[in-house]
Structures are given as C-alpha cells and as structure tokens.
Structure 1
Amino acid sequence: MPKRKAAIAVGGVAALGAAALLLPNANASQDRNDAAAGGTADAKTLKAGDASDLAAQLQKILGDAFAGSYYDSGKQQLVVNVVSGDNNVIVQAKKAGAVVRQVENSTAELASAARTLKTKATIPGTSWAVDPRTNKVLVTADSTVTGAKWNRLQSTVQSLGSGVATLKKSSGTFKTFVSGGDAIFSQVQGGNVRCSLGFNVTASDGSPAFLTAGHCGVAAKEWSDSETGQPIATVDQATFPGEGDFSLVKYNDPNTQAPSDVNTGNGQTVQINQAADATVGETVFRMGSTTGLHDGQVTGLDATVNFQSETDPNGVDTVTGLIQTNVCAEPGDSGGSLFTQDGSALGLTSGGSGDCTSGGETFFQPVTTALQATGATLGGGDQAGAGGEAGAGAGDQAGAGDQAGAGDQAGAGDQAGAGDEAGAGDQAGAGGDQIGGGADPSGAAGDQSGAGAADDGSSAADDGSSAQTGGH
C-alpha cells in the first residue's frame, strides 16, 4: 500500500472544529465544583497521566483500604477513596500527594454489587460501572428498557441498597457506532460495512497493522481505505462480544509505513507517543468522520455494556472492561481514536447511546488491554518499542478493574452473527446525512453538531454517505 494511504488511515478526517484541542486548559473547569474533592495544601498538582501512575502506586500500598480514585481536573489533583480509619493509611496517601477521602463502600463491596447485576439484570440496553466520585455503582438503562425489564432492573438495584448503586435513564439506545474516523470499508453480503481505524501498531511478528473495534473485525475480514477499493488489510484477531471490543488488522503490504498519529483535519495531527490507562475525571478527545472532534471526561472504568444482539431478537451481546465517558458519538464513529492532548492513546470507540446534539454515554475499548491481548505494540517502525513499554506499564493499573467486578461477565453475550452488522444500515442513514451535511469545513461548528468533514476528508465523507447503507 502506498505510504500516502497509510498516512490517512489513522484517527479521523473530520474538521478540527473543537478548538479545545489547541487550548491547554480546555474543559479544565468541568470538575471544579466537585464538592467531594476538597483539595488539601499538601496535595500535589498533577497531570492526568501522572495522577494515573500515582493511583496505581497507592492502590498497591493501600491494599484493601483502597476504594477507587479519580482526577479532579479543576484542581489538577488525585482524589483517593479509602475505607479504613487507620491514620497510617491516610498519612501514607497524603504524603504521596493525593487528596484522601474516607468512603463507605469498599472495592470488594462494589464488585459484589456488580456480580449481582450480572446475575440478575443482564438486560439488553443496560450498563454499569463504578463511579469513584460517588463511591457507588452507576447503573444506566437506555430507552428500550421498559415494562417488566425496567421493573426487574429497578428492583435489582434497590436490593443492593441506596448507598451502593444508583440508577439512571438514558434517552438514547445503546448500539455499536460503526463507520467513522478515517474510514475503512468492507464489502459483505447485504451491503457495505464502514468502520474507523483507531491506531496504527506493529504486530508481534513485526508486520504493520492497526487496531479497530472488535465488532468491525467480526463483521468483515478484509478492509479497504475507500468504498470501492481493493482490500489493503486483513483481520488477524477479533474480540466481540466478551472481554472487550477490539480487532488487530494487518496491512497486506508488509512494507506499509503506518504513522503513529491521529489526523485531526485541516492538515493537523496529534503525535501518539504512548498507550495509557484512562483515569476517571480526565479530559479526553474522540475523533470520527461523522461528528468530528469532540471532548469530554472519563466517567467510569471497567464498564459492562449489554448491547441488543443484532442477529438474535432475544439475545444480548455483553462486553466488559470498557471505559465510560460523556463524550458524544454517533453511527460512523466505531473503532475511532480516544486520546489525550499530550498524545496518549486511550481507547477505541465501541458504542453507546445518544448523539452529539443531546449528548449521551459512549464506551471505549482500552488500548492497553487490546495491546496486551494481541501482542502488538503501539506505532510503526522504531516507535513500536515505546508503545510496548507503555502498554506493559499500564498493566500495573489493571487492579482498577476490580472496582466494578464486571469482568466476570465476559462472554455473557451471544457471539453469533456480529458479522451481519452490515445489515444495520438503518442506523447509518443518520450517519450518512450528517456526513453529507458537512457545513463549513473549517468552521468551529465542526465539533458542535457532527457538522461534517473537512476539506481533506471530503472524499471520505462522500464515500461514507453512500456506504452508510451497511454502516455500523
């Protein structure tokens, strides 16, 4: 594959409407009024990445007393929850530079609540994840959860106790967001499948490859960078549903030079220099060709999502271990890049509810987990080593997943037939309209309403509007 094509197959082609990417303090005040944080004079001022590292260290030090943590982006401090009244434990955490908050629910208690939800309330259109800011399990039901299903979910949550879990309704419907980003296409029976490339990587055998969503890799085997073009890459591994939503796709040409960056449009890119674990409270960015660049905050880790199976009306595709955020997304964004302003790769767009007008919840596959599972390293060529180190180091924080205990739900979904997602073209019509409706390719509205693709991505947008008949 020509080097030029490899260069456009990273991240997103939509307009850089989100000026927040270029503003160092963008969204810094979103968490300013979090009364639970309560900074201290001894607490260190930290970047989100450093806060994540400190949280991993304190989790080891505090042991069972550790009950989660989050990043107060307004004060730039790490807040650590502890359940022990042992002054020595509190002193240790404070000396390390964290804000310490005593809470009621331990990690084990919250994990137990998540297991109960798995057993009694694995219902299509539901999700749950630990919210360290409230020290509770946040349970969300989409608009399809009504009648007996809602009653079952509500009674299960109530049985956990008022201080353990909270339940909220989402106005949208949980679905996978296929299409988007720097678009990749596949021809399958029943139409075209369109997804988004997440990050370029180097496979364990040294060959060039990229990561995208697992439901994309299950849907189709061969992928092109244009709607009617010849395949340029072939799926090597794919996981969906179950313990994640990620695919490793190898370029057919072993000489492909695939850059480690995210194309944010208008000739601008963000260099991706490491893989990192997400931290609750940190500001993140998502790129996709349907809706452009959007930012928001991480709201939960190790989230479990129960998608309605697209092949079995009575089935459920359960995916565990995801990052939950309030960043919007729409059909056309699946597989796309979730990253930080300083160039850390965090996630691959999986699915969620809502849209970029009304908002909603969006879930992402952690990049560190995908790298570990596939044996790949971030970046291409001589950048692979750095990505490998980052991916390996992030493993230390795997304990954060214990908060939700949702990992037990792996495989609860019905694996059959995600490949027939090409038939989900009805969703894609909306995505296609949004691409085709691309207004001013250089305007600030680009990040506001999915207003469409940039000049440099207009061809991809044009392709997408017709490809949406089978879009995901």
Structure 2
Amino acid sequence: MLEDSVNRTPAPRTRLAAVASVLLAATALTVPGAAADSDAGRPTAAQLTAAHSALARADIGGSAWYTDAATGKVVVTVDSTVDAGELTTLTEAATTPAGAPEINPTTGILTKYVAGGEYIQLPGGVRCLVGFNVRDSADVKYALTAGHCTNVGDVSNIGTTVNSSFPDNDYALIRYTDQSAAQGSVYLYNGTYQDITSAGNAIVGRGVSSVSPTGGLRSGTVVGLNATVNYGGGDIVYGMIQTNLCAEQGSSGGPVFSATQAIGLISGGSGNCTSGGTTFAQPVVEPLAAHGVSVF
C-alpha cells in the first residue's frame, strides 16, 4: 500500500503496437443493437452507471475513467501496462447504446506518488507532502495529505495521523505536534508563498497549479471530474479530479490549487515533469466536510 510504484512491467513495443490497433478499431465497437450513427444521442444516466460498474468489475490496473459532462461520453485513460486484450475489455465495458468510449493512452504507469518528498517523514521510510494546513473549531491545526501515505496512529516528523482514508478515498489528517508550525500558505519553490484563503470544487477547464520539491511550481487544467482510478492490487479510488498537471515520485498529498483556493490533494498518476503525464487529485472539500475542518 505504501510502495513507490505499482509493481507492473511496462508494455513491450509489440504490445504497444497491438494496443494501437485496438485503439483504431475502438470507435467502431458498439454493443449489440446499438445505433451506429449520431442519432443514437447521449447515453442515459442509467447506461452511464452501468458502464462505470462494468469498468469496475473488469478490475484492470492501470486504468481510470470518468464521464465527459459536455458529450456524455465515457473517457477511459490507460497506461502502458494495459495490453490489447485488456483494452478490448475496457472498451466493451464502457460502450453504451450511444457509442464507444474515448480511449486516451497516457505516458508511463499509473502509480501512487510515494517517495522523495520533503515535508512528512512517515514510518517505513515513506515521505509525502503536506497538501494544505487546516484547523477545527477549537483552532487545533492539522496537515492534510494523501491517505495512501499513512495509517491511523502513524507518528511522523510533524505529528500523529488521526484519520486516514484509503482506498475509496485518498486523504489523511495529521495533527501537528507543534501547533505554531502550521501556516496557511503553500510554498512555491521559488522563494515565495501562495496564501490559501478558501476551498472550492474543481471545474472542467479551470486552471490549477501544483508544487513539489522535484517539479517545482507547475500549471495545468482540470480535464475531468468524478474519475475512478484503479492503481492495481485492489487500490481503487473514486471521485477523483483528473488533470494534465505533471507530477513525480514524492508528490503524494501535495496541493492542487487555483490562485488562493484549495482544490485537491495529489493522489497519483503517470508520467513526469519532463515528458508530461496525467495526475489525479482527491477533492479537498470532501475531507474538510467530513471532519469539520477548514483551510486558513
């Protein structure tokens, strides 16, 4: 659960060629009786629910999916470990009477980003980042980070984990030992800080930023909402924000923000800040509401 990366081997060149051929055929794939032209219209809510359920039952690590609100189409992201047969399974699972899904290959391997962080040293040599500092009604201060980094009761270099939610969700709260250490800002790795004054929901197309010791300050956009990510090994998270931000090992728990507004906590993704990639984030409003805390 706390490994640096999912132990899966990248696909060989021949497998990638086979996957490419399946991608070319994907748009022609329909379920029996489905209309073959644009008159089929948008899928219904029930059909989309059925498609998401079928994707979950397929249980293929290295895949993630969400529904594009603008088109009603299921969008499936696959990493380099998904072979041609698995891709066919995913395509069939996500096909509705309105048509086949959109299939998007992504660079590298989908993994939880755990290692190389600076801020939180956890048992077993795990290091992650503080996302945002929060406080409760009694002004007790906590750090928000990724749930896959922690277990309840873990003692780190900044405090003790009092809540950890992973899989399904991916967030955790660490109560600061030194309450004065918690500051309501994000370090931008350029000698300056960004004040965080509120929390909000992600919106498709909205510009967002992230920071990490290895990648520095990075900018991108929100690509999709309510994404399901299967990291493999039973580690499946729901309701994630999909972005085109780059992130690298050591970014887990790190902040995703828009100007002064907290948006999410980095869960994982694929690629890096050289080649680019896909990054998923836990919406920050969920742990805030669940535990009665707020950014400051």
Within 1, Cα distance between the matches of 2:106 and 2:275? 11
Name 1:276's counterpart in structure 2. Answer: 200
Within 2, Cα distance between the matches of 1:274 and 1:221? 28
Equivalent in 349, 362, 369 of residue 286 of structure 2: 369
Report the AA paired with residue 49 of structure 2.
Answer: A
| Residue 127 of structure 1 pairs with residue 64 of structure 2 | yes
Within 1, Cα distance between the matches of 2:138 and 2:193? 28
Name 1:301's counterpart in structure 2. Answer: 225
Within 2, Cα distance between the matches of 1:113 and 1:149? 16
Deviation of 1:322 (Å): 0.7
Which structure 2 residue ranges, 5 or more long, are not aligned? 1-40
| Residue 331 of structure 1 pairs with residue 249 of structure 2 | yes
Aligned to 1:197, the other structure's residue is in SS state: coil
Report the AA paired with residue 325 of structure 1.
Answer: T
| Residue 146 of structure 1 pairs with residue 83 of structure 2 | yes
Equivalent in 168, 190, 205 of residue 104 of structure 2: 168
Name 1:110's counterpart in structure 2. Answer: 48
Within 2, Cα distance between the matches of 1:142 and 1:364? 17
Within 1, Cα distance between the matches of 2:272 and 2:97? 32
Task: Tell whether the 8 Å contact from 1:142 to 1:171 is kept in structure 2 after alignment.
Answer: yes
Counting only pairs closer than 5 Å after superposition, residues 69-468 of structure 1 correspond to structure 2 as 104-119=42-57, 121-158=58-95, 160-161=96-97, 163=99, 165-179=101-115, 182-188=118-124, 192-203=125-136, 205-218=138-151, 221-224=154-157, 232-242=158-168, 244-253=169-178, 255-308=179-232, 315-341=233-259, 343-379=260-296
Counting only pairs closer than 5 Å after superposition, residues 45-56 of structure 1 correspond to structure 2 as none
Q: Which one has the largest radius of gyration? A: 1
Task: Tell whether the 8 Å contact from 1:294 to 1:328 is kept in structure 2 after alignment.
Answer: yes
Report the AA paired with residue 89 of structure 2.
Answer: R
Within 1, Cα distance between the matches of 2:190 and 2:64? 36
* Higher RCO, Cα 8 Å, sep 6+: 1
Q: Deviations over 1:75-125 (max 9, x none)?
A: xxxxxxxxxxxxxxxxxxxxxxxxxxxx73444443332123223x22111
Moved over 4 A (4+): none
Task: Give me the TM-score of the superposition, normalised by structure 1.
Answer: 0.51
Structure 1 pair 106–162 and aligned structure 2 pair: CA distance change class (3 A): closer
Report the AA paired with residue 150 of structure 1.
Answer: L
Structure 1 pair 134–197 and aligned structure 2 pair: CA distance change class (3 A): same
Q: Deviations over 1:379-416 (max 9, x none)?
A: 2xxxxxxxxxxxxxxxxxxxxxxxxxxxxxxxxxxxxx
Q: Deviations over 1:103-162 (max 9, x none)?
A: 73444443332123223x22111110112243311011211111543332233234x246
Q: How many residues align?
A: 256
Within 2, Cα distance between the matches of 1:348 and 1:182? 16
* Identity rate, percent: 41
Name 2:19's counterpart in structure 1. Answer: none
Within 2, Cα distance between the matches of 1:236 and 1:374? 11
Name 1:434's counterpart in structure 2. Answer: none
Q: Deviations over 1:416-445 (max 9, x none)?
A: xxxxxxxxxxxxxxxxxxxxxxxxxxxxxx
Report the AA paired with residue 93 of structure 2.
Answer: T
